[in-house]
Amino acid sequence: MNSIEHNLSVIKQRIATACERSGRDVGDVKLLLATKTVPAERIQTAIELGSNLLGENKVQELKEKAPMLNESELDFNYHFIGHLQSNKIKDVVKYASCIQSVDRLSLAKKLQKRLELEDKTIDVFIQVNTSREESKFGCAPEDTLELVKQVALLDRMNIKGLMTIGLFSANEDEVRPCFQILKKLQQEIHTLNLDNVDPKELSMGMSGDLEIAIEEGATIIRVGTAVFGERQYPDSYYWNEKKPT
Ligand SMILES: *Cc1c(COP(=O)(O)O)cnc(C)c1O
C-alpha cells in the first residue's frame, strides 16, 4: 500500500467513527482533498484510488494542474476553496465546478458578468468567517443572510452551501462553536424561503477537526495534510496571501 492509499483509509475510518458516534450516515459526508502544493501526479494517484472531489486554493495551481489531470481522463471535480481575487475569475470559471469561497457581493457581481459572457452557470458556497480571526477571509456571520439574499438575485450562481474554516485551537470548546454557527446560518437561510436557494452542503472540518465538524453536521470535509503530508508553507500563506518570511 502506498502512503496516500494508507492515509485515505485512515481518514475514511475516522469519518466512519465520527458518523457512527453522531448517528449519521457515512454516505452523507463527502471527502474533499485539499491539494494545495501537491503535484498533479500525486493527486492523480488519489483520484485513481477513488477520491474525485478536489479543492485548490490558488488560481495558479488550479490552472496548472487541472489541464494535466484532465488529460488522464479520470473523473473528478475541482472546487475552488481559496481567497478569490476578482482579476482571476476567468481561470476559476474555466476549471472549477464550484467556488466555495464567495464572501463578498463585489466578487459575486464580477462572477455574474463573467458567467454571462460565457453563457455558463456555476455552483457557489458562501464562505463565513465563523472564528472572526482577522487573518481569515469570509463574510461576517451577521452579514451572511444579507449576502445570501443579494447573491440569490444573481442568476448565474447557484448557492449550494456554506463553507468555513474553524478556529485553530487544540481546545475543542473553541472550535465547535464555529461549526455550530455555520449550521445555524444554514437553518436561518432555509427559513428565508428564497427561490432557488437551498444550501444543503456544509463544508467544514479539516485534518485536525473533522470529527467535531461531522458531529455538527458537515457534509463536506476538506482534508490535505492527513492525506498528502505536511506542506512546506504555513497556511497563513494561503489564507491571507502573505508570503512567509
Ligand atoms: C489547506 C486547507 C484545508 C485542509 O487543511 P489540512 O489541515 O491540511 O487538512 C482545508 N480547507 C482550506 C480552505 C484549506 O486551505
From ligand 1's centre to the CA of 222, what distance in Å? Answer: 6
User: 68 φ, ψ to 5°?
Assistant: -65, -45
Ligand 1, atom 10: closest residue by C-alpha: 222
Separation of alpha carbons 240 and 51, rounded Å = 28
Separation of alpha carbons 115 and 211, rounded Å = 36
Of 94, 96, 89, 163, residue with least CA distance to 125: 163
Q: pLDDT for 150-208, tens place per residue?
A: 999 999 999 999 999 999 999 999 999 999 999 999 999 999 999 889 899 999 999 99
From ligand 1's centre to the CA of 148, what distance in Å? Answer: 24
From ligand 1's centre to the CA of 125, what distance in Å? Answer: 16
Q: How confident is the model at residue 245 (pLDDT cuts 50, 70, 90)?
A: very low
| pLDDT given at position 49 | 96
Q: Is the CB of 206 under 6 A from ligand 1?
A: yes
- Provide CB contacts within 8 A for 214, sequence distance 6+: 15, 18, 19, 22, 24, 29, 205, 221
Indicate yes or no: pTM above 0.85. yes
Q: pLDDT for 225-242, tens place per residue?
A: 999 998 877 776 666 655
Of 34, 62, 38, 46, residue with least CA distance to 8: 46
Residue 16 cell numbers, joined: 466512519
Q: pLDDT for 125-158, tens place per residue?
A: 999 999 988 877 999 999 999 999 999 999 999 9
